[in-house]
Amino acid sequence: MAGTLKRLAVLGSTGSIGRQTLEVVRALPGRFKVVGLAGGSNTALLKKQAEEFSPQFVYYRDKKANTAFEDYQFLPMEEMAAHPDVDTVVIATPGGFGLEPTLAAVRAGKDIALANKESLVSAGHIIMTEAKANGARIMPVDSEHSAIWQCMEGEKTPPARIILTASGGPFRGYTTAQLAGVTAAQALEHPSWRMGKKVTIDSATLMNKGLEVIEAHWLFNIPFENISVLIHPQSVIHSIVEFIDGSVKAQLGCPDMRLPIQYALTYPERLLNTQLPRLDWDTISHLDFERPDMDSFPCLKLAIEAGRRGGTLPEVLCAADEVAVELFLSNRIKFNDIAKLVQQVLEQHENVFIAKPTIKDINTADAWARDRAMRLVLGDEPC
Amino acid sequence: MAGTLKRLAVLGSTGSIGRQTLEVVRALPGRFKVVGLAGGSNTALLKKQAEEFSPQFVYYRDKKANTAFEDYQFLPMEEMAAHPDVDTVVIATPGGFGLEPTLAAVRAGKDIALANKESLVSAGHIIMTEAKANGARIMPVDSEHSAIWQCMEGEKTPPARIILTASGGPFRGYTTAQLAGVTAAQALEHPSWRMGKKVTIDSATLMNKGLEVIEAHWLFNIPFENISVLIHPQSVIHSIVEFIDGSVKAQLGCPDMRLPIQYALTYPERLLNTQLPRLDWDTISHLDFERPDMDSFPCLKLAIEAGRRGGTLPEVLCAADEVAVELFLSNRIKFNDIAKLVQQVLEQHENVFIAKPTIKDINTADAWARDRAMRLVLGDEPC
């Protein structure tokens, strides 16, 4: 039996997706061996996870934590992602921390369960090229991209169009004026999904959906003009694919990230997991749809436009958004300022824009954008 | 190019599905060669079709029509369905006329685009066994079964559950008392689908959905307890498949039979057909769902129960229903009498019920049921 265990490295194991990944591993005994865990600042949880799963490798950001992990081999995330003892790398690290491990994993030809969307958003052209060259498989963990992937499974003809659904977040239907006064606490109350803070705020601004459009463009090789966004408040239909004959497929399910996580881990098989909730059609009387309001939620427009133009702009978008969301969460800017700040940084980036960036260019653009965003808010002195 | 043409025999070419099949053939030039046409009583249309498509073989029911078809070789449907010059047999003949050609086609190992549901309903155990033994592929043309088939494409794990959607027909929401007075003309006004008369009445009684449950059972090898019916008035979601991990896929599209017809003909490819309508999400604000009302529409319950018990009962159900629908269309019985008549015939069949019928048994049961139904309505003298 041990020989058939799929060996996992879970990067970002203490975050929301990382923890749910380990829930799936627990629910499917005899299927997986966790050989690597990489956490961020939550050393206590990482230690608990290491005690439960006894990984070979551990990565922790806080160097002072080394006494807690004396029994494990410390390995940087990039090395863990490429290690020969790892079959599938789950990349659930937040934001910019995903790029280097993703690159290492694609270069090592790994199976990659990719929950970090920023790496594809900022370096999709490099990652997809390297994945193809090295035989790496990128399996999306985002519910929307998993939906599209599931709908494309077995199809011989590429999709004509994809439609990403969006719940609309807690402020669906709000006007710009109404959005002016919303608080971080309100923004963190997502109506349907259990997610980390950053992505929950990005869902409230629709920035998250914009990043997903860019991600879908790279994952499925679909031109931006054939990707659209549809607001669907119930989050039952996770996304929609239209084929050239007019046939349309949708993937549906309860809003529970463990389902796309499990599908990526067990693909192409599906396994019974009694812990996963089932859609109950007795309780679904209607599913609603509406067009996104790009005026009240300009982040969606900004992201799609940055994706369409490409180059360093998507990285600048991500970096500026990360700063903006942090500032919003710490009550230093207002909700509507998130889009304004991102837009300003994007506009100021025109002078240093690079159309075909290397990873170094992307990292430079990232640092530039973070610095720029901070200066714009806190004044021209470095913080 | 000629060598790659798929050679079609279209049985039932003058009916609704047959005509739409020829529309698909016209819309995809260079893909198909119609080598056989079989029509029923509409000799004039069959002649026009023969002139347009120049088939090798023609079948017509009315022997007096032979002068009209002197230029073509007459061939019984069973022979046409098994002829070596035929690659794919489209079986769109109504009701009981489908069984013998379907059997001939499966025994000859053909690809079969199956629109006739009665053959699987009445002899699913024989047809599926023969299809497997002879390498025949049965490709459903019903929109619901095509939906399920499309959702299963590429999946390694069989469905846990399938949900057939039903528009609910023109009398959705009616009580038994309200249904007592409805006319044939009202019943023929289907809200979403363009179909033949028999299937339109069957849609109004929900008998059609019951037959589809039985058909799905055989086509996809799913136990009856894992098949359910969901009323969905917009007919946008054509059916739904749930997998063991809780993931659900649905196939959607405009209610246009040419789409499932084309999919069966071009499978596993999908081809651009600009004549096929596209779903327009700008016009879809909501999709509705409700449980079927088995009390007002007892035909659904009768059919599922006949399917569950099997044997000669499904054939008796089909035959009695054919007679009942004809009597309703000619104003000799009321709408609610359709279910009553079918139920009476089913009850009276208990004495002569055969659990594992041969084709001969099925034909005998068919004749018995038609006779019984007529006698029950018109008195005990044969008509």
| Residue B151 with chain A: CB contacts under 8 Å | 249
Q: Please indicate, yes or no, whether residues A191 and A236 belong to a single structural domain of this protein.
A: yes
List the beta bridge partners of residue B164: B229, B239
Taking the CB of residue B338, how many other CB atoms lie within 10 A of it?
26
Asked whether residue A21 is assigned to any structural domain, the reply reads: yes
List pLDDT tens digits, range A132-150.
999 999 999 999 999 999 9
Q: Please indicate, yes or no, whether residues B267 and B236 belong to a single structural domain of this protein.
A: no
Q: Please indicate, yes or no, whether residues B174 and B283 belong to a single structural domain of this protein.
A: yes
Q: Please indicate, yes or no, whether residues A209 and A107 belong to a single structural domain of this protein.
A: no
pLDDT for position B383:
43
What percentage of residues in chain B have a pLDDT greater than 70? 98
Asked whether residue B265 is assigned to any structural domain, the reply reads: yes
Instruction: Please tell me the distance from the alpha carbon of residue A378 to that of residue A327, in angstroms, as a whole number.
Output: 10
**Which of helix, strand or coil describes residue A113?**
strand
Instruction: Please tell me the distance from the alpha carbon of residue B127 to that of residue B133, in angstroms, as a whole number.
Output: 10
CATH code, domain with B33: 3.40.50.720
**Structure confidence at residue B3 as a pLDDT band (50, 70, 90):** low
**Which of helix, strand or coil describes residue A282?**
coil
Instruction: Please tell me the distance from the alpha carbon of residue A119 to that of residue A314, in angstroms, as a whole number.
Output: 10
Mean pLDDT of chain B: 95
The yes-or-no verdict on residue A36 having pLDDT over 80 is yes
Mean pLDDT of B70-86: 96
Asked whether residue A184 is assigned to any structural domain, the reply reads: yes
Can you give chain B as a three-state secondary structure string? Answer: CHHHCEEEEEECCCCHHHHHHHHHHHHCCCCEEEEEEECCCCHHHHHHHHHHHCCCEEECCCHHHHHHHCCCEECCHHHHHHCCCCCEEEECCCHHHHHHHHHHHHHCCCEEEECCCHHHHHHHHHHHHHHHHHCCEEEECCHHHHHHHHHHCCCCCCCCEEEEEECCCCCCCCCHHHHCCCCHHHHCCCCCCCCCHHHHHHHHHCHHHHHHHHHHHHHHCCCHHHEEEEECCCCCEEEEEECCCCCEEEEECCCCCHHHHHHHHHCCCCCCCCCCCCCCCCCCCEEECECCCCCCCHHHHHHHHHHHHCCCHHHHHHHHHHHHHHHHHCCCCCHHHHHHHHHHHHHHHHHHCCCCCCHHHHHHHHHHHHHHHHHHHHCCCCC
Q: Please indicate, yes or no, whether residues A134 and A264 belong to a single structural domain of this protein.
A: yes
Asked whether residue B184 is assigned to any structural domain, the reply reads: yes
Asked whether residue B134 is assigned to any structural domain, the reply reads: yes
The yes-or-no verdict on residue B381 having pLDDT over 60 is no
Residues 212-231 of A with CB under 8 A from B: 228, 230
Chain A contact for B275 (CB, 8 A cutoff): no
* Length of chain A in terms of residues written: 383
**Which of helix, strand or coil describes residue A59?**
strand
- In this complex, do B270 and A155 lie within 8 Å of one another by their Cβ atoms? yes
List pLDDT tens digits, range B105-154.
999 999 999 999 989 999 999 999 999 999 999 999 999 999 999 999 99
CATH code, domain with A331: 1.10.1740.10
Residues 284-303 of A with CB under 8 A from B: 284-291
pLDDT for position A380:
63
Nearest to B257 by CA among B129, B366, B115: B115
Residues 6+ apart with CB under 8 A from A7: A32, A33, A35, A85, A86, A87, A88
- Give the global pTM: 0.95
List pLDDT tens digits, range A37-62.
999 889 999 999 999 999 999 999 88
pLDDT for position A378:
86
pLDDT for position B1:
41
Asked whether residue A305 is assigned to any structural domain, the reply reads: no
Taking the CB of residue A131, how many other CB atoms lie within 10 A of it?
22
List pLDDT tens digits, range A156-201.
999 999 999 999 999 999 999 999 999 999 999 877 766 778 889 9
CA distance A216 to chain B (A): 19
List pLDDT tens digits, range B346-365.
999 999 999 999 999 999 99
Q: Please indicate, yes or no, whether residues A90 and A27 belong to a single structural domain of this protein.
A: yes
Taking the CB of residue A51, how many other CB atoms lie within 10 A of it?
9
Structural domain boundaries, residue B60: 6-141+257-274
Q: Closest CB to A155: pick one of B154, B156, B291.
A: B154
Chain B contact for A280 (CB, 8 A cutoff): no
Mean pLDDT of B151-176: 96
pLDDT for position B31:
97
Task: Note the Cα B4 to chain centre separation in Å.
Answer: 29
- In this complex, do B270 and A245 lie within 8 Å of one another by their Cβ atoms? yes
Asked whether residue A18 is assigned to any structural domain, the reply reads: yes
Which residue reads 């709000």 in tokens?
A174
Asked whether residue A1 is assigned to any structural domain, the reply reads: no
Q: Please indicate, yes or no, whether residues A243 and A382 belong to a single structural domain of this protein.
A: no
The yes-or-no verdict on residue A295 having pLDDT over 70 is yes
pLDDT for position B68:
87
Mean pLDDT of B317-344: 97
**ipTM here:** 0.94
Q: How many domains does chain A have?
A: 3
Q: Please indicate, yes or no, whether residues A89 and A215 belong to a single structural domain of this protein.
A: no
Q: Please indicate, yes or no, whether residues A344 and A240 belong to a single structural domain of this protein.
A: no
Chosen for mutation from A270, A272, A274, A275 (greatest number of chain B CBs closer than 10 Å) is: A270
Q: Please indicate, yes or no, whether residues B262 and B116 belong to a single structural domain of this protein.
A: yes
Taking the CB of residue A155, how many other CB atoms lie within 10 A of it?
18
Tokens describing residue B348: 């009276």
Mean pLDDT of B300-322: 97
Q: Please indicate, yes or no, whether residues A35 and A132 belong to a single structural domain of this protein.
A: yes
Q: Please indicate, yes or no, whether residues A264 and A247 belong to a single structural domain of this protein.
A: no
List pLDDT tens digits, range A203-239.
999 999 999 999 999 999 999 999 999 999 999 999 9
